[in-house]
Structure 1
Amino acid sequence: MAPAMRFVFGLLTFVTVGMIIGALFQLAFIHRLEDSYGDEFPSTKLHRSQSDGYLKLPRGISHWHGDKEAEILRLGFVKPEIISWSPRIIVLHSFLSNEECDYLRAIARARLQISTVVDATTGKGIKSNVRTSSGMFLNPTERKYPMIQAIEKRISVFSQIPAENGELIQVLRYEKDEFYKPHHDYFSDTFNLKRGGQRIATMLMYLSEDVEGGETYFPMAGTGDCNCGGKTVKGLSVKPIKGDAVLFWSMGLDGQSDPNSIHGGCEVLSGEKWSATKWMRQKSTF
């Protein structure tokens, strides 16, 4: 078994062994991840593999040299930052490479449509002034592309939720003055629970740079103030930095939907905010 696979072995039992044990596994995983990049965070100057389409680790990190699983997981690059345990929120710095960010934007740009929200009565998507953005979903065929497979596997390992429990990745674009008002990712209807059960966690990945505003805002997290679309508000917010990701849970350690996981996308003041979202369920979605 490759070193990187031994590194993550047993970490995909999050749902089956219980939420609390899963949280402890994840904390242990983060500590192991911190050990993987040492005292100094490595250079972000990357070089591309000619054969597999995703990025190799920087030269000089001999511990993971030649380990393809480490390349897929970006061990030595991803730096975790726990910003809240209730609700549970982890920022994963450098989760995606620049090439992966650009790739997701490129395959999405020509297929963007006005975003919708889930109607609590019918469970279907409807247009709403709660959400002013454009988006699209990758299709099942694209899920098999090598770079998408690498991202999907990374999401599964870092969230400790099996890949088959994930919905298709959604790519979103927020232009100037666009936003997403605070909301929950878990479902309030029964229609959407039929395939895969409740949403338990979200991986939100940032794909663009030079964005002012557009923070991801958690009004029920933290005890201080933060910036949201140029305003000072109560709670925590995460600035959209290209390549970073925010992993947060819609379900608490008691197995119930967590109302404190409410979050929103702050108004974009300048530039374009591109992001990709992966929602994860209790059971297989395919």
Structure 2
Amino acid sequence: MASPMKIVFGLLTFVTVGMIIGALFQLAFIRRLEDSYGTDFPSHRRMHESQNVVNLQLSGGISHWANDKDAVILRLGYVKPEIIGWSPRIIVYHNFLSMEECDYLRAIASPRLQISTVVDTKTGKGIKSDVRTSSGMFLNPEERKYPMIQAIEKRISVYSQIPVENGELIQVLRYEKNQFYRPHHDYFSDTFNLKRGGQRVATMLMYLSDNVEGGETYFPVAGSGECSCGGKMVKGLCVKPNKGDAVLFWSMGLDGQSDPNSIHGGCEVLGGEKWSATKWMRQRTTS
């Protein structure tokens, strides 16, 4: 008959081996979770990998998400949020669009560009103005049904937490050298535009081109420092236009009132072409 000491020793050995095996299984499980998040974990090699990897998004770019349609549409593992301001609320979403999506929007817009207009505060209609010197166009309701456009709109809805049906049609803009958009508010100061969908709550501004000199998005009353706007140092906060990135900012505060601090503008383009796509979101459905 085994002695009590041998029994105790055997039990301790059994428990120890079990703990080691359990720890190994736990480590393996954690590793699988990390891998499933693709480039979202802060490996320097991953964070600085070729932009070509981002281009794979619509064709199952991150193999771990290949069978998850919603994950692919939302670009999980690619999109990296960066909060840069609280008054107004501003978030930069790095890698928000794939390179294919950027080029797709530009290709749709190119043949239909017209001189941009601004909203007339008296009539609510678009008029030409020296305040805005770009050219642009709006996607039509039929184009809104295209799979890639639907994917972009769903992504905007999820990251802004505003329903798709509350969004206006996407506008694509091109700023050439020396063109700009002086500081302005996106919310309406007329009653004409408020009849359909109410006030503009937030804006998602997406950058579609790279190698742009100048052309920053400028928030003159955000932050407490200085930044470069079209080659000039100014007070406020500036966001450099990087292809695939997007800026989400709110025109209304948490109190439900229009936020005057949301004033913003497009700095002068010094070199190259700045392409962007804008999605304005309302309080209610626009359809």
TM-score normalised to the size of structure 1? 0.83
Q: Is the 8 A contact 2:38 2:62 kept in 1?
A: no
Matched, 1:54 2:54: no
Residues 51-90 of structure 1, C-alpha deviations (whole Å, 9 max, x = no match): xx9242334xx3x342110000000000000000111000
Which structure 1 residue ranges, 5 or more long, are not aligned? 1-33
Equivalent in the alignment of 2:32: none
Equivalent in the alignment of 1:37: 40
Check 1:54–1:35 CA distance in 2 against 1; reply closer, same or farther (3 A cut).
closer
Matched, 1:144 2:145: yes
Q: Is the 8 A contact 2:214 2:231 kept in 1?
A: yes
Equivalent in the alignment of 1:218: 219
Give the AA of the match of 1:58. I
Check 1:276–1:135 CA distance in 2 against 1; reply closer, same or farther (3 A cut).
same
Equivalent in the alignment of 2:158: 157
Residues 208-257 of structure 1, C-alpha deviations (whole Å, 9 max, x = no match): 01100000000010000001000000000000000000000000011100
Matched, 1:183 2:184: yes
Check 1:180–1:55 CA distance in 2 against 1; reply closer, same or farther (3 A cut).
farther
Residues 118-154 of structure 1, C-alpha deviations (whole Å, 9 max, x = no match): 0000000000000000000000000000000000000
Equivalent in the alignment of 1:108: 109
Residues 188-214 of structure 1, C-alpha deviations (whole Å, 9 max, x = no match): 000000000000000000000110000
Check 1:126–1:47 CA distance in 2 against 1; reply closer, same or farther (3 A cut).
closer
* Distance (Å, rounded) in 1 between the aligned partners of 2:264 and 2:105: 23
Give the AA of the match of 1:38. F
For residue 36 of structure 1, report the CA deviation from its aligned partner.
8.2
Q: Is the 8 A contact 2:54 2:98 kept in 1?
A: no
Q: Which has the higher helix share?
A: 2
Specify the SS of the correspondent of 2:148.
helix
* Percent identical residues: 77
Q: Is the 8 A contact 2:54 2:99 kept in 1?
A: no
The 5-angstrom pairing of residues 1-286 of structure 1 reads 37-40=40-43, 41=46, 43=49, 44-46=51-53, 54-59=58-63, 62=64, 64-286=65-287
Larger Rg: 1 or 2? Answer: 2
Check 1:35–1:101 CA distance in 2 against 1; reply closer, same or farther (3 A cut).
closer
Which structure 2 residue ranges, 5 or more long, are not aligned? 1-36
* Distance (Å, rounded) in 1 between the aligned partners of 2:99 and 2:53: 9
Q: Is the 8 A contact 1:47 1:55 kept in 2?
A: no
For residue 35 of structure 1, report the CA deviation from its aligned partner.
10
* Distance (Å, rounded) in 2 between the aligned partners of 1:274 and 1:134: 10
Equivalent in the alignment of 1:6: none
Give the AA of the match of 2:42. D
TM-score normalised to the size of structure 2? 0.83
**Would you say how many aligned residue pairs link Structure 1 and Structure 2?**
247
